[in-house]
Every structure is written in structure tokens, then in C-alpha cells.
Structure 1
Amino acid sequence: MDPLARLDVNPAHVVLFHTVLGVYAAWLIRRGGPWWRSRLTPALLLQVKTVLDNLDGQLARATGRTTETGRYLDTEMDLVVDLSLNVALAGWAGIPLTVLQSLILTTDFLWERDHRTARGEVFRDTAAQSNDHPQVLATLKAVYAAYFSPQEQLLGGWFETRLGASTGDAPTPEERRAYTPLPITAVAANLGLTTQLAFLGLCLLANQPRLYTRSLPVQALVLTGVQLWREGQVRRGKT
């Protein structure tokens, strides 16, 4: 990160670069060909993309260049890569698989947010800069509102409804903390995008790429089981 900071690299350019790497990896998978080109190279590119994806936010924070545009851009470019990869792996079936993957990642986002909020912690720092291009930011916000916001509202509302059903009345701060213990955020975080791409890379190296797409329903079932467990934690606390 230090070399990039010294070179005054724009974090948004890092986002766009690792997006290109991810889309190119998807193109190689879809194109097929020798194992080294259709499996090994994409697997390596995806790990480089992951490193850079984790680096762009660190670079922005270290250089005081966090912006609303950068945050929306990072999230939406990840969606572009996810969609490209799932379509490359499963054809048109990759579209609903991408939605399922987004719901898994949104659950990770919501559980971390709720965990921190229940403990009075800051979830996301305010952007350090406010020099966003109005039209670019408006476009990114519109995309987010059309795709991600409905997922957040649907899942967030459902989680809140399940909490109310577990408490039987308005949840207390203690019950909210019991509903958002660290273990659930750890499980969800381990199903985050870094793990997703690492597992896909392993599937590619094993020449079993479809194993990744088949894992997405299993991941959803794991999160459903965790949800039931945390509801039980709240109910046991009331007895």
C-alpha cells in the first residue's frame, strides 16, 4: 500500500483495474481452452483481484481519499465481476445465482452493521472527501437503490421481524446484543467475497468450476441455520 500511496494512485483506479481483472478471468473461463488458460490463469487473476479489492479501501483511508463515489463504485464493480463469473460458469442460470450470492453478501453486511450498532460502535466512517462528481455519484446511487437497497430492506425487515417474534415485544438493548453476537458476524464474514473468490479459485484449479455455483445454495442454508440459532439465543435469554 505504501508504494501506491507514494505514487499518489487514485483508489478508484485500483477499483477499476481489479474489476477488469475479474471480468477478464470470467472471459477466460467462458472461452475455455487449455487448462492453464481456462482454469489456472483465471484462478490466479481472481486472487490478485481479491488482494487489490482489499487494498483499495485501505489506500483510500490511509491517504484520506475516501469518498461516497468510491464506496458505491467498489460495491457495484464487485457485482459486475460476480455476474460475469457466474454467467461464465453457468450461462443464463448465472443471473439468479448472482442474486443469491448478493443476498449472502448482503447478510454479511447487515449482520456486521447490526452487531456494531447494537454496541454503539461506528459501522462506517464518514467519507473524508466530498468532491464527488454529482452525475457519477447520482448514477451509482441509482444503481445501488435499484439492486442493493431492496435486498437490504427485504432481509433487514425479515431479521427485525424474527427478532420481534423471538422477544414477543419490543426488543431491549440487551436482546439486540444477544441477537447480534460476534459468532454470527464471523460466520457471515467467512462467506464474504474474499472467501468466495478463494473457493472459486480452488474449484478452478481442481477442474470442478461448477462446484462453486452448487455451493451457493449450501451457503444460504448455513446462514439460515445461523439465523435460527441466534433466534434461539434470544428466546433462551428470556427464560
Structure 2
Amino acid sequence: MMNERLYRPLAQLLVDPLARQNVNPVHVVLVHTALGVYAAWLIRRGGPWWRSRLTPALLLQVKTVLDNLDGQLARATGQTTETGRYLDTEMDLVVDLALNVAIAGRAGLPLTVLQSLILTTDFLWEQGHRTARGEVFREGAAQAGDDPRVLAALKAVYAAYFSPQERVLGGWFETRLNAVAGDSPTPEQRRAYTHLPITTVAANLGLTTQLAFLGACLLANRPQFYTRSLPFQALLLLGVQRWREQQVRRETVSRT
């Protein structure tokens, strides 16, 4: 995956220098959010090619590197917090919304919701893959002491926007599994349902790939290709969902 081969190694190069400077990972989140919003502003503003296309394309790739860096820095320095995790997720939403509106205008609002559903699918499928194999999906926060008001506000936003998506999609995925496996799927069926190649397809539609694709569209002076790709991404995931169900059926047949 692009993240594993390019952006994370680049981010790793910055971990030790920033750790020595006692940089707070939350500050990294705020910086890469500002870069993403500024890129959206440049796209919306227009102007010469280098300012409206080249500069935001580069800024978005830097944003992706820093988006990987904040988590790596937090884990390396024992600074993972609940606040940081919620903030990172919600600031990515701010950037997504700014970019989609900058490119598509009012249509950017429903496109952002569609994009969130795509990213939530990635989240749920990875979670299901790890859970079915007894792996830890998310380590607990290493630090406590979050500002209770800030954390409460971030949790409220998450509960209002992301949690309903997780409940609806998670419930539908479970319903589809029960439809092909029965009311009590076996561990083998759950592993088949969350087969690694299936999870990899969703991971390759994650935010890193999306921003890389947007950068390419900007350089080609066709940013609309990015927003127009979102419905096709959703259709691809629907096709992969059918594939997931077929894997369970094959597992069921092989056991009978």
C-alpha cells in the first residue's frame, strides 16, 4: 500500500528529531489540518497553475506525511491520548469537507458524507479483520489527563457524525454475514468474511490514497475527477461486499 511504502517511512524520518524537541503530536495534527484547509482555499481561489494546482497538490502530500507522523510520534513518545485520536479523525473530516466544497461547491457536502462512509467501511473492515484473528485493533491511550471539556466536545462531535455511520454500516455488514452464515457465524466464517485481500481493497481507498489521487488530478488540471470518483469507489465497495459474502459461502460449503 502507498501508505506503508512511502508516507509512513517519510514520517518515520521525522519522529526522532521531533521527539528530541518535545513536539506535541496534537500540534502536528493542527499543522497538517491547516495545510489541508489552505490547499482547499488555494483550489477554490484559483489563479495561476502553480498556485491553484501545483502548490495544493504538494501541500496535500505533506499533509499526508504529517498525518502519519502524529500517530507515530505519539506512540514513540508515549503521548497517545483520547483527545489526540478524536482530534485527528475530526480534523481529517474538516479537511475533506473543505476540499470537496472547494472543488464541487454545494455538492461537496453530500460528497463528504459519501466519502466518510467509504472511510468508515475501511475502519470497520480492518477492525473486523483484526478482531476475527484475536488481534488488538487499537491500543489504549498511554496518557491520561485530557482536558475534560475539550475531550467531551470532541466525543460529542464523533457521536453525532461518525458513530451513526459505524452503527448503520456495522449492523448491515453483520446482517449480511448472518444471511449467508446463519445466526451464529463460526470463527472460520468470520475470518473468511474479513479475508486480508478484502480488507486491503478498502484500505487502498483510505484517505492517503484519496489525497494522492487528488494531487494527481490537480496536476492534470482535472480536480473534478477526484470528486466524481467517490460514487465509483462506493460501488466498488458494494462489489467487494458481495465478494465477502461469497468467501463465507465457500467456507461454509468446504465444511459440509
Q: TM-score, normalization: structure 1? A: 0.99
| Aligned position for 1:33 | 47
Displacement of 1:79 after TM fit? Answer: 0.2
* Displacement of 1:169: 3.0
Q: How does 1:1-239 map to 2 (within 5 A)?
A: 1-239=15-253
Aligned partners of 1:43, 1:17: CA distance in 2, in Å?
16
Measured after TM superposition, the shift of residue 185 of structure 1 is: 1.1
CA distance in 2, matches of 1:29, 1:238: 51
Note the alpha carbon deviations across 1:177-205, whole angstroms, 9 max, x for none.
11100011111111000000000000000
User: What amino acid is the match of 1:232?
Assistant: Q
Paired residue type of 1:47? Q
TM-fit CA distance, 1:238: 1.6
What count of residue pairs does the alignment treat as equivalent?
239
Rounded Cα–Cα distance in structure 1 between residues aligned with 2:250 and 2:26: 47
Provide the rounded CA distance (Å) in 2 between the counterparts of 1:178 and 1:41.
44
> For 1:58-92, what per-residue CA distance to the aligned partner results, in whole angstroms no more than 9, with x for missing partners?
00000000000000000000000000000000001
Aligned equivalents of 2:166, 2:233: Cα separation in 1? 18
Which structure 1 residue ranges, 4+ long, deviate > 6 Å from structure 2?
A: none
State the alpha-carbon separation in 1 of the partners of residues 205 and 252 from structure 2: 30
- Aligned-pair CA distance for 1:172: 1.0
TM-score of the pair, normalised by structure 2: 0.93
CA contact (8 A) 2:188 2:251 kept: no
CA distance in 2, matches of 1:237, 1:81: 41
Residue 222 of structure 1, CA deviation: 0.8
Supply the distance in 2 between the matched residues of 1:233 and 1:19 (Cα, whole angstroms). Answer: 39
- Deviation at 1:168? 2.6
3-state SS, counterpart of residue 208 of structure 1: coil
The more displaced of 166-175 and 26-35 is 166-175
RMSD over equivalenced CA pairs, Å: 0.5
Residue type at the aligned position of 1:109 = F
Q: Structure 2 stretches of 5 or more lacking a match? A: 1-14
- In 2: Cα distance, 1:130 partner to 1:184 partner: 35
Q: Distance in 1 between matches of 2:182 and 2:150?
A: 45
